Amino acid sequence: MFEDFTSAQIETSETVINLVYGGSGEPVLLLHGYPQTHVMWHKVAPMIAEQYTVVAPDLRGYGDSGKPAVDADPERYSKRRTAQDLLEVMSTLGHRSFHVVGHDRGARVGHRMALDSAERVRSFTTLDVAPSQAAFEAMDSSLAFAWFHWHLMRQPEPFPETLIGTNAKFYLDFLLERWTAVEGAITEEAYAEYLRCFSNPDTIRASCADYRAIDVDLAHDAADRGRKLACPVLALWGGNMAKRPGWQTGQGLDMLRVWQERAEDVRGRAIDCGHFLAEEAPKETAAEVLKFLDGCWADKD
């Protein structure tokens, strides 16, 4: 995986970020989700790198990136602080402005980054995510069932850490199976990396802290209520909901509409797959992203 990419670890003001980068052209930042790492992009990144410079990091707390202790700082794993890591990474690599493509947790980080640092984010692509504020304000029994992990991981330490850590492989396998609609989409090599990283007790600790930070994240969202993203937004989501009814939207939300309420220029559609678009439908996902990115740079010119 990532044979034509360069691996690096970059120190930021608060931690160390592990990443791969490759390709040439305008920069695109790919942000992974839970319970994965930058490896989730291994099918899509080479296709995007044919036209763009791709940077794919592990978020703080995940993969081989640093996992800072929370201590008495409830904002340590807020999306704002995670986004700051990545802004510093992109500056170190010489990229002042760039596109952001985020899946799951990465999309939440990307959304916050586009709000806080609009001058740096050229466009934002969200994969299979409804904005946190919209989802929590519309929480119903269907969404709560689909998001059981949110409610578990928000519980006080060390309750979720202990339950997940007792059999990390069992928990990981359940999530990957439940959220995947295309059989065999997650390769053995990618799965081995996910299991290696997810089995680290520090990853379990940090990922629980990431989910607990929702209270801080929602406070940040409340302060920005009504502000719309100025950059173009592409929303793609998995349309096969057979194994995950209620995912992201519950019974009351429409994925495209909730993003249109939060950005001036939104386009998007469902793709026939489950949660892991970049692995279940890599060619279709890459084609949609590339078409969108090409249009954004054309608009710039």
Within 10 angstroms of residue 58's Cβ, the number of other Cβ atoms is: 24
Of 201, 272, 235, the residue nearest 127 (C-alpha): 235
Residue 275 falls in the annotated catalytic set = yes
| CB 22, CB 29: distance < 8 Å | no
Q: Which of 95, 111, 149, 275 is catalytic?
A: 275
Q: Which of 58, 64, 85, 104 is catalytic?
A: 104
Residue 104 falls in the annotated catalytic set = yes
Of 39, 28, 89, 42, the residue nearest 62 (C-alpha): 39
| CB 61, CB 210: distance < 8 Å | yes
Within 10 angstroms of residue 286's Cβ, the number of other Cβ atoms is: 20
* Residue 53 tokens, joined: 């410079």
Edge-to-edge strand list for the sheet holding 98-103: 6-11, 16-23, 53-57, 27-31, 98-103, 121-127, 229-238, 263-271
Q: Which residues are identified as catalytic?
A: 104, 275
